[in-house]
Structure 1
Amino acid sequence: MPTLRALHPLCVSVSLMAFSVALTQTDATAQTAAASFVFGDPLPDAPELAARGPYGVGVRTLALVNPDQLEVLAVTPQDPEPRYDRPLTVELFYPGDAPAGALTTYEDVFGHSADPERPNRPLTFLGRAERDAEPDASGAPYPLVILSHGYPGSRLMMTYLAENLASKGYVVAAVAHTDSTFDDVGAFASTLLNRPLDQLFVLDELARRGAGEGFLGGLVDAERVALIGYSMGGYGALNAAGAGFSEAAVAAPFVPNRALALRQTGAFEPDPRIKAVVAFAPWGGPAALEAVGVSGLSFWDEAGLAGLRVPTLFVAGDQDDVSGFEGGVKALFEGAVNAERYLLVYQNARHNVAPNPPPLGAPFTEYARYAEFAWDARRINNINQHFVTAFLAKVLKGEPTGRYLELVERSNEGVWAQREDGSFAPEHSYWAGFENRTAVGLEFYHRPARGRE
């Protein structure tokens, strides 16, 4: 093919003009595609199970109240056990009678209501769901997934995952934890005390409603429950599922009057309805405490982690500077010896391996609450959808998705060996569900429960 330099000047002029038009058209197409992209949509390199399922998605907002709770932020020497009715807002995603192409607008905020230098700003974005759609009961009852955000955070931080799971036959309850959202940030003691309590209350309340005659009647299978938590949500999920807090954490001055003792190792029995946990960058290990200036302390000791007995998928960045990796998430993964567990690692990622893509145009401090600087957040979202789908389908539904979870530990070491007829040679070890050349920068570890090696 001749180069532009070898062509007649007029041809060069015409060729450059055509090239410019082609670029303009390509740019316009790219802009149109970007404008139509909704959080959670599969990119061209998305792994296989990131695609949405067969159900339309409905979404509703529920206002719940957990009565007679300890108001830990109002504790004083004169009133050591003040009580209140604790409000909780829940965004509910479910298989719904929603038309193809249905969109909804989520209205949220970002910022930090307790910091005058980070005022709350509105955040509006689209989702692929129908507001208040009628439920699709054709496959009911559906397993229940409780989704718990970080501190501070939002019940709408992970809509990409909530919608995706609802489209695959799950009821997903995304909780806005009072005192822990962007627009009502309270002291940390409330989050430490209330995370597992909120998650268990929402489970109880949705189980009650699922057994009734209302909107949720017959829709929820509260005997097949997964907890998905990010950061402090992961902290709560591990405890709610059986990992009791250490005596050192209970005795520490984080929460007054030893209020964490009711969730201490030996003080409670795990809820048998909880069958699985997905913990994104869970906080509370020794490295997490060191990051805030507290050395030699973890919310879990060996006995506490041994109390976790349900299958658990941990997800982390190996550069996590909030929860920590080697002395943080990985230590929790290794210590939960009585649970079958998996660990998905994003190489060179920090703490934000769970949320929606960051809001463009936001101040850097707020952008950084969502962003992963070495990764495209949309890519992370797709990979999370793939692995959470495989894990929950295996554990909660008994579906044959185990091959997506039995992988060579370092994705870069997987070998693609496909014959001309499309079949794979014996040496093929590439990550299942990933196209050739796309499984890079990831690690995946599997440990059986103790006694099941």
Structure 2
Amino acid sequence: MKVAGKVAAKSVLALAVMVPFSASLGAQPVEAAASPPAVPATEYYGDARPDAPELAARGPLRVGVRTQVVEHRDQFDILRASENAPDPRYTRRLTLEIWYPADLAPGQAEHTVYTDVLGSGPGNPARPNTPFSFPGRAARDARPAPPQTPSDRYPLVIVSHGYPGSRLQMSYLTEHLASNGFVVIAIDHAESTRADKAGFASTLLNRPLDDLFVLRTVSAWAQAGSGHFLAGLVDTGRTALVGYSMGGYGALNAVGAGISAAAVAYVPGGRLAIHQQGDPRHETRRDARIKAVVAIAPWGGANGIWDAAGLAGLRTPTLFISGDQDDISGYQDGVLRLFQGAVHADRYLLTYRGARHNTGPNPPSPAAAAAGLEDFMAYAEPVWDSRRINNINQHFISAFLGITLKAQPLQAYLDVPPLPAGGKAGPDSAAWKGFPTRTAVGLELQHLPAQ
């Protein structure tokens, strides 16, 4: 869905200027000062700020990245269905970006350049599809780093963007997870990116189907002898779905949160019934390999997409993330209601106080700042620094997926005490494990166990 927000337009991609320090006071010699820490020549999305929580630090592994296109054949074409053509079929081409632990060749650097587009879909003269580029901390086409043993294969994380968005929308998170020993695959959902945005019915129908198709595809690649570079590298039996906005909608539906009868009526002809709670087609699609969900500002709670029965169908451990001023997905009637209603799932809700909908993506690029208010507001937040949000997301998502996919002893990072009454900072705010003193403010983390 459309996103909103605003931060300072200063480029986060500017090259740092290294200036040697020298000084003198009259004829008096001055003792040389200790050299300051080296400043990186390029700042990448996801780099840890000085106040970043502990698990936002880059992981120990080098990161490679590759791009691959897959084809989901013989799919129902909901945008071209009519009385005269009730069952049109087509092939959905999905571009995937794949991040993975890598062994770098001599002289190879963890640096690439991603290219995306601004705008709100093709043919919009007010917001044309303008290409822009930004640097990434990953080595293009690097050799994969083999796991130490077959049992140490890397868990899989599938990432789904907003509407419209792109597979590169959360590179700060995808690179970070790969550096911590995950294979991460982000999808360009056909008819739902900024480059090819089409009717909303396609997004409603295809998001969960795309997620599950990619899981099946990667499972085939992972098999020994497949010839794919992921063969023997990834363990799809330990998979997580990470979705932002409409990606959150698709992820929740894919793991069992069936939509309501009212939501089925959003698209004529009952074509969304395959995602409805109680429909056998929905029930049989549940894939036990998916062990966790991260739903960032998931859309649909305030729009009648889920009723109580549908939310009760969610049984997968879930981390919800939201701003309490989200004006796209809603908070009290939106994400908070989803969190409270998913009674059969062990779940957490991380809330950014004062934030709107843009709690998922990268910061706005310099190109977005130059393009105008609408493109800038598609990424930015009005009261939060997006880099700060990115670091906090890295921290909590790393803890959550480390626990659910790797059985790592990270539970203390999620067992944080509540903030004092009224949300004011107090002496105990430093008790949030991994947060520097005086920095656990503006946030709330709630937990509800499965019934």
Deviation per CA, 1:384-407: give whole Å up to 9, x if none.
000000000011111110011011
2:254 matched residue in structure 1? 240
State the shift of 1:103 in Å.
0.6
- Cα distance in 1 for residues equivalent to 2:155 and 2:353: 32
2:437 matched residue in structure 1? 436
State the shift of 1:116 in Å.
2.0
State the shift of 1:113 in Å.
2.3
Are the aligned partners of 1:410 and 1:444 in contact in 2 as well (CA < 8 Å)?
no
- Cα distance in 1 for residues equivalent to 2:389 and 2:410: 20
- Please tell me whether Structure 1 or Structure 2 has the larger radius of gyration of its CA atoms: 1
- Cα distance in 2 for residues equivalent to 1:85 and 1:376: 40
Are the aligned partners of 1:61 and 1:91 in contact in 2 as well (CA < 8 Å)?
yes
Pairing 1:310–2:324 present: no
2:78 matched residue in structure 1? 72
Pairing 1:353–2:349 present: no
Deviation per CA, 1:309-345: give whole Å up to 9, x if none.
0110000000000000000000000000000000000
Pairing 1:390–2:399 present: yes
- Cα distance in 1 for residues equivalent to 2:131 and 2:104: 27
- Cα distance in 2 for residues equivalent to 1:249 and 1:258: 10
Deviation per CA, 1:156-182: give whole Å up to 9, x if none.
010000000000110101000000000
- Cα distance in 2 for residues equivalent to 1:85 and 1:178: 10
Matches within 5 A, 1:223-238: 223-238=237-252
- Cα distance in 1 for residues equivalent to 2:254 and 2:399: 23
Deviation per CA, 1:15-69: give whole Å up to 9, x if none.
xx98xxxxxxxxxx99x95862110010100000001111110100010000100
Greater RCO structure (CA 8 Å; 6+ sep): 2
2:132 matched residue in structure 1? 123
Are the aligned partners of 1:408 and 1:414 in contact in 2 as well (CA < 8 Å)?
no
Counterpart of 1:265 (choices 269, 277, 298) is 277
Q: 3-state SS of the aligned residue for 1:65?
A: strand
Q: 3-state SS of the aligned residue for 1:197?
A: helix
Output the amino acid matched with 1:334.
Q
Matches within 5 A, 1:100-111: 101-111=109-119
Are the aligned partners of 1:408 and 1:429 in contact in 2 as well (CA < 8 Å)?
no
Counterpart of 1:147 (choices 159, 181, 184) is 159
- Cα distance in 2 for residues equivalent to 1:336 and 1:243: 8
Moved more, 211-220 or 436-445: 211-220
Counterpart of 2:202 (choices 184, 190, 205) is 190
Pairing 1:216–2:230 present: yes
Counterpart of 1:133 (choices 142, 151, 161) is 142
Are the aligned partners of 1:340 and 1:448 in contact in 2 as well (CA < 8 Å)?
yes
Output the amino acid matched with 2:258.
G
Counterpart of 1:169 (choices 166, 181, 188) is 181
Structure 2 stretches of 5 or more lacking a match? 1-23, 26-35
> With structure 2 as the length reference, what TM-score do the two structures score?
0.86
Output the amino acid matched with 2:446.
Y
Are the aligned partners of 2:97 and 2:186 in contact in 1 as well (CA < 8 Å)?
yes
Change (3 A) 1:305 1:373: same
Deviation per CA, 1:98-154: give whole Å up to 9, x if none.
368521110111112242210011110001100011100134511100000000001
Output the amino acid matched with 1:189.
A
- Cα distance in 2 for residues equivalent to 1:311 and 1:231: 18
1:81 matched residue in structure 2? 87
Structure 1 stretches of 5 or more lacking a match? 1-16, 19-28, 290-297, 418-427
State the shift of 1:373 in Å.
1.1
Output the amino acid matched with 1:110.
L
Are the aligned partners of 2:331 and 2:337 in contact in 1 as well (CA < 8 Å)?
yes
Q: 3-state SS of the aligned residue for 2:202?
A: helix
Q: 3-state SS of the aligned residue for 2:144?
A: coil
Deviation per CA, 1:201-255: give whole Å up to 9, x if none.
00000111111232110111111010000000000000001101111211x1x32
Pairing 1:333–2:339 present: yes
- Cα distance in 2 for residues equivalent to 1:375 and 1:33: 24
Pairing 1:278–2:284 present: no
1:98 matched residue in structure 2? 104
Are the aligned partners of 1:98 and 1:129 in contact in 2 as well (CA < 8 Å)?
no
Output the amino acid matched with 1:89.
T
Change (3 A) 1:207 1:395: same
1:292 matched residue in structure 2? none
1:403 matched residue in structure 2? 412
- Cα distance in 2 for residues equivalent to 1:382 and 1:407: 17
Q: 3-state SS of the aligned residue for 1:36?
A: coil
Moved more, 303-312 or 137-146: 137-146
2:30 matched residue in structure 1? none
- Cα distance in 2 for residues equivalent to 1:407 and 1:368: 32
Q: Which runs of 4+ in 1 moved over 6 A?
A: none
